[in-house]
């Protein structure tokens, strides 16, 4: 065999004076092939650095044994936890994960999905960008027989598989906590109005206030596009109110970080002049001074793990008995602010 040439079954068979079918079965430890022949075949295959032609295997099985995963950003602890859970399930199923980061850019997200389809991944798991409004790709993947499972940030549709966190539970616990500490001027810094999660947070916020007999003040509900500038603008509007809120619930821990920064710059004291509770339970809070009073755990690992389990059911069986809309209760985690 010439130097640099990729070894094939035919070349192994020719050197050992065997049929290619015999060599193929020997490499798979087929019981019809004798032990001596199997050992000879495997020895030569190892010497030649032979590797199976996956293209032929994929073509025969109509699978690529890869799944695509689209996440907003791995710089967020929430999504780095999620991808670890997904990769663990994929490894258990002998699959490889191809990862793309949308960076909350809808056009970039679509290009990643188109690339996945072009490379014929067997399935897709996605947490959509916070700016995604066009979901035509769902029908495209359905026609291509490529199952898609959404988690955390999901479309407002009932015809897809989605795994989410029950935001209302954590929101009510947050409001109850503030009320128990004597707060009744409670504000919400929410995400984009178009986002399903923002709508759910606002509905839960209003419901929590009503349960605690607190009048809903629309001046206390702010929206941000989740950029640093958008977050800071929202906080500046909040601080500028004549009857400034004493407690704030934020869309996410990253919004809270920006909010606390501007509050300190304005000369206000965290957990004295103004208190915060946010969503996502950022792991690094335990190493930061002047942290928020609490954070709402949304269990990214459990969400992602269930999404992967459902996807592999769909890939292997074409169906799942785990359901198409799974909700994990969120939970308030009190942080040590002493």
For residue 170, being part of any structural domain is answered with yes
First to last CA, the chain: 73
Same structural domain, 156 and 305? yes
SS3 294: strand
For residue 126, being part of any structural domain is answered with yes
SS3 309: helix
Same structural domain, 255 and 322? no
For residue 1, being part of any structural domain is answered with no
Same structural domain, 102 and 170? no
Same structural domain, 143 and 190? no
- Note the pLDDT of residue 59: 56
Average pLDDT by stretches of 10, the chain with 338 residues? 68 87 86 89 86 63 89 94 97 96 96 94 96 94 96 93 94 97 97 90 96 96 93 94 96 94 93 95 84 94 97 95 92 85
For residue 201, being part of any structural domain is answered with yes
189 closest CA partner among 259, 260, 291? 259
Same structural domain, 252 and 178? yes
- Note the pLDDT of residue 159: 94
For residue 16, being part of any structural domain is answered with yes
For residue 76, the number of C-alpha atoms closer than 13 Å in the C-beta half-sphere is 21
Same structural domain, 213 and 291? yes
Same structural domain, 177 and 276? yes
Same structural domain, 293 and 170? yes
Q: Could you tell me the strand order of the sheet in which 161-166 lies?
A: 96-101, 66-71, 124-126, 148-151, 161-166, 325-329
Count of CB atoms within 10 A of residue 134's CB? 10
- Note the pLDDT of residue 288: 85
CA–CA gap between residue 104 and residue 127 (Å, rounded)? 10
For residue 60, the number of C-alpha atoms closer than 13 Å in the C-beta half-sphere is 5
Range of the domain at 247: 166-297
- Note the pLDDT of residue 63: 85
- 63 burial (CB, 10 Å; 0-12 / 13-18 / 19+) is middle
For residue 311, being part of any structural domain is answered with yes
Q: Are 329 and 166 in contact (CB under 8 A)?
A: yes
- Note the pLDDT of residue 13: 83
Q: Could you tell me the strand order of the sheet in which 186-190 lies?
A: 221-223, 186-190, 247-250, 275-279, 294-297, 331-334
- Note the pLDDT of residue 3: 54
The CATH code of the domain that includes 173 is 3.40.50.2300
Number of domains in the chain: 3
Q: What is the pTM of this model?
A: 0.81
Token pair, residue 268, equals 């206000």
Strand pairing partners for 321?
A: none
């Amino acid at each position: 065999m010439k130097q640099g040439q990729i070894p094939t079954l035919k070349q192994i068979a020719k050197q050992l004076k065997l049929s290619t079918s015999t060599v193929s079965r020997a490499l798979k430890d087929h019981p019809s092939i004798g032990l001596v022949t199997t050992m000879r075949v495997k020895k030569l295959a190892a010497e030649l650095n032979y590797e199976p032609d996956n293209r032929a295997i994929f073509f025969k099985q109509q699978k690529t044994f890869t799944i695509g995963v689209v996440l907003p950003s791995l710089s967020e602890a929430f999504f780095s936890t999620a991808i670890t859970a997904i990769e663990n399930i994929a490894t258990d199923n002998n699959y490889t994960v191809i990862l793309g980061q949308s960076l909350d850019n809808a056009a970039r997200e679509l290009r990643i999905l188109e690339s996945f389809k072009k490379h014929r991944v067997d399935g897709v798991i996605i947490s959509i960008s916070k700016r995604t409004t066009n979901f035509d790709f769902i029908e495209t993947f359905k026609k291509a027989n490529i199952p898609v499972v959404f988690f955390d940030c999901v479309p407002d549709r009932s015809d897809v598989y989605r795994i989410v966190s029950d935001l209302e539970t954590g929101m009510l616990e947050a409001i109850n906590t503030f009320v128990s500490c004597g707060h009744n001027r409670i504000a919400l810094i929410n995400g984009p109005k178009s986002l399903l999660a923002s709508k759910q947070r606002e509905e839960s916020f209003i419901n929590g206030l009503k349960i605690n007999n607190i009048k809903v003040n629309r001046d206390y509900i702010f929206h941000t596009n989740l950029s640093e500038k958008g977050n800071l603008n929202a906080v500046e509007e909040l601080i500028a109110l004549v009857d400034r809120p004493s407690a704030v619930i934020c869309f996410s821990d990253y919004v809270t970080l920006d909010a606390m920064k501007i509050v300190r710059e304005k000369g206000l004291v965290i957990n004295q002049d103004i208190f915060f509770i946010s969503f996502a339970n950022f792991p690094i809070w335990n190493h930061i001074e002047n942290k928020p009073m609490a954070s709402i755990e949304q269990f990214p690992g459990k969400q992602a793990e269930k999404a992967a389990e459902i996807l592999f059911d769909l890939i292997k069986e074409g169906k799942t008995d785990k359901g198409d809309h799974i909700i994990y209760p969120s939970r308030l985690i009190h942080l040590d602010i002493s």
